[in-house]
Chains A and B, each alone.
Chain A
Amino acid sequence: MATQAMFRIWRGDAAGGQFKDFVTPVEEGMVVLDAVHRIQAQQAPDLAVRWNCKAGKCGSCSAEINGMPKLMCMTRLSNLNLDMPVILEPMHTFPVIRDLVTDVSWNFRVKKTIKKFRPRTPDAPDGTWRMQQADVERVQEFRKCIECFLCQDVCHVLREHHKQEEFIGPRFLVHVAALEMHPLDTEDRVTDLRRKHNIGYCNITTCCRQVCPESITITENAIIPLKERVVDRFFDPLKQLFHII
């Protein structure tokens, strides 16, 4: 492995910015976030980066590494070509605060617009429920989500078409799927999915699924089943026929 590497890091804020090159020593086993920390400690103390757990569990250090949306803490330098500068940019879909840090507060506002969990009455006299592991597992896949928002970053509807006011994005479609498929939930979110969350904007390019660091099968397991529910309710030709009659 190389003994040093160049990192081309975007520095700036909402008003604009530019790439700046930093050369720093690297060792076996290092991840991108280690290099950023080293640069911060030794060369650019005010370099802005958001991180927490450094183990791929909190989803804070999302960025674009050589153009790919990734967690900096889980991207090993040994998987990058260090003969070239490693290009680090903030996520493009969200407004920049500073350097590698973006304003992701939109996501937190969106979540509040989704109807919350509403369980059925308890199954047992002691107020508890009974569920089978197989039923739980289907939803556990969605609940692995660490809210890194890389799927939102890469979604065309948000990234290119800026439909943030109308479309909730893959992260929150996964969230709705987790609620809708929850064995205990009794709430109905299908109408909202169509009219308020605009699930129809998604044209299943699977980009979100490809960047998910938790390997959640976003498109196939979450979004498509939700689209099917919407279709069943609103576009079933037989039902429409009955409706007309």
Chain B
Amino acid sequence: MPEFERFSYDVLVIGAGGAGLRAAIEAAAAGVKVGVVCKSLLGKAHTVMAEGGVAAALANVDDRDNWRVHFADTMRGGQYLNNWRMAELHAKEAPECVHELEAWGALFDRTEDGRILQRNFGGHRYPRLAHVGDRTGLEMIRTLQDHGIHSGMEVHMECTVLTLLLDSGRIAGACGYDREKGRFYLWQAKAVVLATGGIGRAFKVTSNSWEYTGDGHALAYHAGAELKDMEFVQFHPTGMVWPISVRGILVTEGVRGEGGVLRNKEGRRFMFDEIPDLYKEQTADNEEEGWRYTQGDKNARRPPELLTRDHVARCINREVKAGRGTPHGGVFLDIAWIKERMPKSEEHIKRKLPSMYHQFKQLADLDITKEPMEVGPTTHYMMGGVSVDGDSQMSTVPGLFAAGEVAAGLHGANRLGGNSLSDLLVFGRRAGRFAAEFAKSNSAGAIDEAQLQATANASLAPFDRGPAGENPYQIQYELQESMQDLVGIVRTESEMQRALEIVGHLSARAERAGVAGHRQYNNGWHTAMDLANLLNVSEAITRAALLRTESRGAQFREDFPNKDAEWGKYNIIVKRGAYGEMQVERRPLEPLPAELKAVIEEMK
């Protein structure tokens, strides 16, 4: 019988990216005992990859900005499927969350008068992104980490959660294993905060690291929580396309914010060719005006390169499919051209985009101050996730909270750049606060020992099958290929039906996965364990995308290429049925209060 190391907490936070750390800090500050479980070492979570900045209406650069504009921008970007309460709280609380980071030691770039500098980004009306060059995420996670380690939280590094434990429908804890030795752990907890990030590893071309296997989505789903908006997967328009081994690695939107332009192989700035009606009023119709906007001219409108990510990604896709792409199947992103407009442009680029300069120089042998980059869409962010209460972040399972990318609602059908770093601060903080409150007013639930043993035994089954079983890496690879080809940027019913069949076959094969060796730091075993989650979220994405027979935000259906006003009234909910089958249904949006409706109208 497998042994468990046992720990007991008031609040258990699963995940130590920005949202998890922010939640843990808040819960610890509320005076409860906090445990943090993270899949990697502390400070390595995917938040470090965030580059461009954190969106907050500080109005340091343009005093016309305020929470109402940020709210309206977020709702417009999300095509009005957002949880309006989350969009409202996010816009109102983001500025104080950014200031809080500064009080904990974060050092953002400054304005002339010494305040936090803000930059332009896609879909944001005014310069709104507080940033540190192009390594904002690193600055944030390090600030939270260095503050957090002194707050009393206990951190379990390199541990993976296998299942959430319930007691009469309420959360009671979680169990899992550590990578170092393969030991099993039980973390008993009165409240659990999921902060596990996204699902990018379900696709072949992704900016996400190995960790992003939809763990939190799948854990919540199996615990009986509802998932929402699973059809909306964001493909970031600019990932590296060459060399092949770095395909998918992110190229920050900040490049375009600083004046970078997109061109096809004929040299044409194709983004001017199609500007959506929703954004016509706000978008420059000539190159001159676009350039002035990036250089801070308040009277200029933004260049079309800074339209929302879904739109830019589709335009790039269109150029490549029409044969106007670059040699390696992308388009050109050119920041070097600004030398025509400013003296010492090389230094300027290196100062504003240091890690992009470094990344291309080292991985692609290319100097971005002299030559254009080749870029193409990459799977980047999951708008969908655990359906939560807008104020408390609690899911439909009592005591189970979710914050950051794993939670749904704030971004609706499409996320604006910069809104994820603010999301994880605002809602990490809220989840931590409300989880602590929940823990204080509830006693610990009972642990089902039989379930513990069953979970451990099931997880060891791949060793019994040994290397003769199915190769987990191969199954993961085939899933990624299929999701990329069949449920990617452009979707259609027949392809998605095929994807469902494939997911079914792969699930059966995953049940027969076998691994060699023993439990100590065995990457093959870890991959086998992650497969079930990946297959789960892949099915949820596909089923939700099939049900939504329209194109909106990040979802583009070739067979339903237009937006359908009727579909604009619904979210799609995914949940586990009584017999373990996946149920998908549409649910009417919460009606928007009159005062928020007025804000949206005013900003149109």
Contact = CB atoms under 8 A, between A and B. Distances in A.
A135 to B, nearest CB: 9
Interface stretch (A29-37, A222-230, A233-241): A29-37
Contact of B107 (A52, A143, A145): A143
Contacts of A163: none
B211 interface: yes
Given A46-B522, A52-B210, A31 B363 contact: yes
Interface stretch (A16-24, A80-88, A123-131, A204-212): A123-131
Contacts of A130: 113-115
Contact of A13 (B41, B46, B520): B520
Contacts of A74: 362-363
A132 B111 CA distance: 8
Contacts of B250: 55
Contact of A108 (B42, B363, B472): B42
Contact of B524 (A45, A76, A112, A146): A45
A146 B473 contact: no
A241 B471 CA distance: 74
B367 interface: no
A60 interface: yes
B240 to A, nearest CB: 9
Contact of A53 (B49, B150, B524): B49
B46 A48 contact: no
Contacts of B103: 119, 122, 127
A29 B109 contact: no
A131 B516 contact: no
Interface in A123-157: 127-133, 136, 139-140, 143-147
Interface in B224-274: 242-246, 249-250
Interface stretch (B66-74, B134-142, B329-337, B493-501): B134-142
A51 interface: yes
Given A29-B246, A46-B524, A127 B147 contact: no
Nearest to B181: A97
Contacts of B180: 97, 103
Interface in A142-191: 143-147, 179, 182, 184-185
B138 A57 contact: yes
Contacts of B149: 108, 111-112
A172 to B, nearest CB: 11
A56 B359 contact: yes
Contacts of B243: 27-30
Nearest to A100: B521
A197 B246 CA distance: 40
B377 to A, nearest CB: 17
Nearest to A183: B107
A54 interface: yes
Determine which residue in A46, A98, A101 has the highest number of CB atoms from chain B within 10 A of its CB, and name it: A46
Determine which residue in A52, A76, A130 has the highest number of CB atoms from chain B within 10 A of its CB, and name it: A52
Given A130-B113, A133-B110, A56 B133 contact: no
Interface string A35-64: 000001100011111111111111110000
Contact of B364 (A29, A103, A104): A29
A30 B48 contact: no
A31 B150 CA distance: 37
B41 A111 contact: no
B44 A52 contact: yes
A140 B132 contact: yes
B104 interface: yes
B242 to A, nearest CB: 7
A127 B116 CA distance: 13
A56 B99 contact: no
Contacts of A49: 523
A40 B523 contact: yes
A59 B157 CA distance: 15
A143 B139 contact: yes
A116 interface: yes
A85 to B, nearest CB: 20
B245 A104 contact: no
Contact of B99 (A103, A112, A127): A127
Contacts of B104: 117
Contacts of B209: 51-54, 58
B296 interface: no
B40 to A, nearest CB: 6
Nearest to A135: B110
B517 interface: yes
A3 interface: no
Given A140-B133, A182-B105, A52 B211 contact: yes
Determine which residue in B48, B157, B249, B359 has the highest number of CB atoms from chain A within 10 A of its CB, and name it: B48
A59 B44 contact: yes
B142 to A, nearest CB: 7
A116 B517 contact: no
B107 A55 contact: no
Contact of A128 (B99, B117, B138): B99
Interface of A: 13, 27-31, 34, 40-41, 45-60, 74, 76, 97-99, 101, 103-105, 108, 111-112, 116-117, 119, 122, 127-133, 136, 139-140, 143-147, 179, 182, 184-185
Interface of B: 40-46, 48-49, 99, 102-105, 107-110, 113-117, 132-133, 135, 138-139, 142, 146-147, 149-150, 155, 157, 180, 209-211, 242-246, 249-250, 355, 358-359, 362-364, 467, 471-474, 477, 515-518, 520-525
20 contacts: A29-B242, A29-B243, A30-B243, A40-B524, A46-B515, A47-B523, A49-B523, A50-B40, A52-B44, A52-B209, A52-B211, A54-B246, A55-B359, A60-B40, A97-B520, A98-B520, A99-B521, A111-B146, A128-B115, A144-B135
Nearest first, the 9 A-B pairs at minimum CB distance are: A29-B243, A130-B114, A46-B517, A45-B524, A117-B105, A48-B521, A41-B473, A98-B521, A52-B209
